[in-house]
Every structure is written in C-alpha cells, then in structure tokens.
Structure 1
C-alpha cells in the first residue's frame, strides 16, 4: 500500500482476507477513510491491476465493540440484500465477500464494490432531489424477493422516548400515546429500513446541485419486510432534521406523486410517522455527529432537537 497512515491502513488479517478476494495480479495501492457513518468503520480501497488500471472497493468493518455485538446479524442481512439486489435495477453495491463473525479478519467485515457519487446533505437543490428520493424509494418497495427478509423491528417504545429539553410537553405526550397502541395492519413491502439522504449517493455535475442524479443507495444492513409507511416516515424524519420540518412533512406527498402507496387512513399514517420521529429522539447525538462530519456544522445538538420537537408537534397538529 502507498498509504501507511495508521488511521487508514488495513489491519494485517483483514488485508490478507481482502487480498484473497482480488483478481490475479491485483493489489491494494491506496486506502482512504470514508466519513459520515455511525456504526461501522468504512474505507475505500483502490485496487491496482497488472495492466496499470485501478478500481475501487469499499471495506466495512465493525470495530466498536458496542456495534460489534450485532455485526453478525447486520452483515449477514446486508450480504443477503446485496445478493438479491444484483441485477434488480436498484443501484446498490455488489457483494465481493463477507466475514460476519470475524473468522478471518480482526473485526466483522464486508467487502463490496464502490459506487460513484456522494451523499448530498445541503439545502441547495433539495426541491430537485426530493422527487428523486421518492422515486428511488418506490422502486425499492416494488421489489418482490423470492425469500422475504425478516420482519421489521420497532426502534423505540413508549417508555424509551427521550423528550428534548424545552419540547412541547403536551404534543410529545400525545405522540407517545399514539405508539402505545398496537401497530396498524399493513401490506408488507421490501424495506431498506434506513433510507435517508446520508445513504443515497448523487452524481453532481459541474452545473451544480440542481442537476444532481442518484447513482447509488448504500447501507442495506437493516433490510426488512414491513409497511412502506415506515421507510417513508424514516426519510421524512431525516429530511425534517436536515432541512426543516416542512420538508419532512412534504416527503409522503412526493412518494405518492412518484407512484407509491401509503396507508389509507390518516391515523395509520400518523402512527408510522410518529413512531419514527420518536425513535430518532434516542439517536440525536449520533445522527448529528455524522452530519457535522459531513459538513453541516451548524446542526448542533440543540438545533437538531429543536427541529425534532417542531416536526413531532407539526405531525400531531396537521395529521392528528
């Protein structure tokens, strides 16, 4: 490798494992840390071939012991999803190899192809990107795998919600009461389960963000089977925190305009929207940190909490 900095160098066992999955005559010539993730350490590996050409792979490793406890499940699920998505038309990475139990590597790891593009988290050009996000999610939900992934798991309960300091107490109490009720019936769909701007790659032309186009969807570790409303709600919450509550409230409409189908009853839609908004209350710190690393330094913990409060309150006002 030409770059031996400890922050980017691949550990020796993992290096040997990656090398076994390269083509004859190939070697790693450069490594680069990819920032913005929360649960795993990500590296881009530039692979040099005998003909002088290069290609890029991405190495995902669960280094943190806290997340490492769930790595086997996440990596196995992601490997299955990437295998399923191959040839589906959904722009996802290709699976190269996976070591979910760290049988060969220092840490549980997955090796995949690298997709062009980058996440775009700026406010600029959002009105153009919003319908692109919606259409991409409709395409994901249209997949009908022969073997369904496991049923979705709820990410919060009424007893674990963290009410932000200074939040509208009445609105949050009403929202918590919503998720105390049983989940509404739903028609199952193939879910990404973490579909949001940080996991969507865009190609950005020289003309600017208004001309951006989706080049890939990444991080399929939570792939599940469940209601389309849940994926839509998750993206809505993230849009609300990144760009303001009004943008989050707009996304379900964009999803329907793209051909997606949501729950018919307003009360059922409210359940899924509120459930995801409240789940985010427990993750503000980690979500905010990833966005700040990506350049949104104005999104302090307090700023994100205020947007979350405004979004949950708006949900209860407009949909309740």
Structure 2
C-alpha cells in the first residue's frame, strides 16, 4: 500500500494484491465531503460504470464501503490506470489533448440515466469581497453579473471537475480521467471554464485562454460571449474566499506557487474574462473604435477622414507589439509572475527599446490600450507625463493590473504630472487598497520633497491605527511613508521609530546581505546614520 499524490478532498492509496494486480482506494477522510460521502461515492461508481461503454479512459468501479465500517472511512475501490500527473507544463500539445478529451466527455450520451443537474459553487454566500483583493471593482462586477438570471443553455454531460490535477498522462496522451464524484448535467462552458481557471492559476492567464481556444476550435455550435462570460465568472467566484486552498497539492508536486501568486492569478483571470468575452457586435470594430478614438485619451486619428494615417499608426503598434513578443523570455516570465507581473521581457531590453522609440505620446496611448503588461510598461517610458488629464490618470491607475505597471505609472508619470496633488488627495482614502497605496506613495513624495502643509503628526496617527492590518501593497506604501517621516523630520523621528517597533510590520522581511531592512526602526536608524556620516 502506498499514498498517492493529489487527492485534495480524499486520501488516495495505491494497493497491490498478492497476485500483483493493482487498484486504487479512495477514502473520504476530509470534511465536508466525508459527511456527503455516500452520495458522492455512489455517483462516482455509477458514472464509471456508465462510461465503460465509451472511449473515455476511466477507472472501473470494483467495490464500495459507504459506511466506512471496513475501510475506516467511506471508501471506493477502483481499478488502477497507467500514467502519472503532469502539472508542470501547459505546452500546446498538453492543452490540445485536454481539449480533445473534454469534447469527448461532452459528447457522451447517458440516455435516460442522466446525472444530476449541475450545482453552482458560487452561491450568494461566497460573493463577499476577499480580503486579499487588489482590484475590488472587478469582484464587484463579478458579483453583479451573477445576480443576473442564469443564461439558457443546451445541457450536456459534464465531468464538473475537469483539470490537470484529475488527469493521468502516458507518452504524451491522457491515459486516465479520474475523480467523477461531481459529474453533472449542465452547460459545457462550465467544464471549459473550470479547466481554464485551474490552468490560469497554475501557469498564468494565457494558458487558460489557449485551452479555451483549443476547446472552442473542436466543439460544434456557436458560442454566445455573454453566456460564456457568465459561466467563467461563476467558476472563478467558486474559488472564494481563497484559492490558496488548492495550492498545497501543487507545492507537494514540486511547483513553487505561493498563496499570493495563486490569488493574483485568479484576479488576473477574472479581469481577462470580463474584458475578453464581450457581447457579439463589440468585437474587432469595437476594439478598433476604442483604439482610435478612446474618450478621455488624447484624440486619435479619425479612421474615416485619416484612414491612411490610421493604418500606419496601427502598423506601428503591431510592429512594436511583435518586437515585444520577440523579447519574451520564459525564465524572465517565471520570475516576474512570482511577483504578480505577467510578462517575460527583460527590463533592460525594454528600456533600450524605449530609448530607440523616444517620446511618442500617441503610440504610448495605443500601447496602453492593448492591456498587455510589457506594452504598458513601454508606454509609460515613451509617454509625455504632463500630457495626461486628471481623469485619464485615474482611469489608467485603476486599469493597472500588475504591481510593476502600477508602480511605474505612479513614479514615472503621475509624480511628474501637474494633477499629482489633486490625485494624491483623491486616492489617499480610496476604498480600493491598491488605489489608496498610490495615494500614500504620492504622500511620501510630499513628505520627502514638499512637506509644507502636510499634517505629519496626523499621518502618523493613521499609520499607527491602520498599517498593521492593511493589505500588503497598502501596508508597504504606509511603511515607506512612516520611514521617510522618521528619516526626513527629526522632530517626529522618535515617534516613528516607536510606532514601527510596536507594530513590527516587515520586521522579519528577508533582506539580502548589504541591503537595509524595510523594518522602519532599522531603516530610519541606518539612513540617519548615513546622513551624519557616522
């Protein structure tokens, strides 16, 4: 007997008989699934029996112990299938094979023995703003969407939990599809969404999108984008309150995916779904219109009157995007994604490209509208910071999905813009913690360079009351403000150090040799020592 990897809801054991025959024993040991084990395991056994007449590679049900009297927990004994898990790759060949098998599952006709109707995993009780959310407006949009009537759909046979963690692979092909306890009858898009969201958290948003496209190329029929978006949002919200619950099996398999990275990718997946799957009729024509005449941005070339110039501009954008794609480095992407940045372009090469392009405000605005992280970073480097109006910058900040784009936008554009003080006041107390962090960053700039008129004691009061429990990015920004108050203003130094010592924010932050810890008391003391040359 040996413990098998995976098994988020159950304990999975590999068994070998005296005659060498292998089997798998599923023990429902975890709540709340153990409470419902009789129904779940009975359903799995029945579905496996049904699917024996299909070409889908599924285990064969051998025996059930629904009470757990024999096995020690409710149990399902089933045949062993060859193959192994493959969580480490999202290569095209993997995604194409997954799509082909899922289409086959959806084409299975159960006759009169249809499985139960699907159940939503995004019940109203889950539609609560997660404390780790960085873009609260996205989640509010998601919750509002799920308040709408459920779209009509053509029912089909669903696995209902189809993803890389439930697939066995042998010689590049799927040799087993396991875990059939949630099998249902419902919209095919729900299965596609679940597999895509899992891939997005495991390998990034682009992997989920590629799988969706692979499935849709194979599936028959039209795809209503509004309906597709609804099912995708339902699946994403189903991971709340925290997708970290599914991450541990990935780490057990050797993948370096932190809880924060999974959360960031889930949020990026939500943004991708809300932006990408739009109503028919708002496709290429809509994108072109926005690209050329976006309200709030500097006026674009009129596509009718200046058609030839517009075409040149489009070609220029396409050329730059292609050049960025050529600079993509998988290793750089892997490093960047650990910090929540979904791009793989080396920043030195990005800056070199910006130096070659020089300042081009029109091109910068068009690159920003692509919603690609590398393109937006390049846009920030080649734009005219003083050319943006206040409302334009407010929209851009709220659109800045990733930490690097957010930081560069604030530091390279907003700080140089004549509306920076007005934006500081507007953002400082914004209910979106990421937006508020930008307000605090601008406040820190005032603390350092233009403190006149600032209530420094009042800032320390707010930091003392709110910093310890603030979300990560807001907490970091508040800590920077605390540090600079202590460094730049001797009359407030003792209190700044005392607040830092009592709150202990970033006290254990890993710091490389030769670098100064961001822990405020240490940082303040060291910077003051350097100022005095001691």
Question: How would you bin the TM-score normalised by the shorter chain?
Answer: 0.7 to 0.9
Match in the other structure for 1:240: 200
Match in the other structure for 1:32: 2
Cα distance in 1 for partners of 2:37, 2:198 equals: 24
Q: 1:172 aligns with which of 139, 146, 149?
A: 139
**Is residue 90 from structure 1 mapped to residue 56 from structure 2 by the alignment?**
yes
SS in 1 for 2:33: helix
Cα distance in 2 for partners of 1:164, 1:79 equals: 39
Task: Give the structure with the higher percent helix.
Answer: 2
SS in 2 for 1:81: helix
Cα distance in 2 for partners of 1:259, 1:269 equals: 14
Normalized against structure 2, the TM-score is what? Answer: 0.50
Match in the other structure for 1:8: none
Shift of 1:283: 5.1
1:114-162 CA distance string (max 9 Å, x none):
1111111113x62110010000000000011121000000001244135
**Is residue 142 from structure 1 mapped to residue 112 from structure 2 by the alignment?**
no
Task: Give the structure with the higher percent strand.
Answer: 1
Match in the other structure for 1:272: 231
Matches within 5 A, 1:111-150: 111-123=77-89, 126-146=91-111, 147-150=113-116
Unaligned 5+ runs, structure 1: 1-30, 205-211
Shift of 1:284: 1.3
**Is residue 63 from structure 1 mapped to residue 29 from structure 2 by the alignment?**
yes
Normalized against structure 1, the TM-score is what? Answer: 0.82
- State the aligned residue count: 276
Q: 1:151 aligns with which of 92, 110, 117?
A: 117
Cα distance in 1 for partners of 2:188, 2:156 equals: 6
Shift of 1:286: 2.2
- Equivalent pair of 2:126/2:237 in contact (CA under 8 Å): no
**Is residue 44 from structure 1 mapped to residue 2 from structure 2 by the alignment?**
no
Cα distance in 2 for partners of 1:182, 1:79 equals: 34
Cα distance in 1 for partners of 2:110, 2:121 equals: 24
1:274-307 CA distance string (max 9 Å, x none):
11011123351221011111221x1110010000
- Equivalent pair of 2:10/2:30 in contact (CA under 8 Å): yes
Cα distance in 2 for partners of 1:57, 1:319 equals: 43
- Equivalent pair of 1:164/1:281 in contact (CA under 8 Å): no
Greater relative CO, 1 or 2 (CA 8 Å, sep 6+): 1
Matches within 5 A, 1:196-207: 196-204=163-171
- Equivalent pair of 2:130/2:242 in contact (CA under 8 Å): no
Cα distance in 2 for partners of 1:111, 1:271 equals: 37
Cα distance in 2 for partners of 1:87, 1:283 equals: 39
Cα distance in 1 for partners of 2:30, 2:252 equals: 18
Cα distance in 1 for partners of 2:137, 2:21 equals: 55
- Equivalent pair of 1:158/1:177 in contact (CA under 8 Å): no
Larger Rg: 2
Cα distance in 1 for partners of 2:246, 2:97 equals: 23
CA RMSD of aligned residues (A): 1.5
Q: 1:164 to 1:217 in 2, by over 3 A?
A: farther
Unaligned 5+ runs, structure 2: 279-534
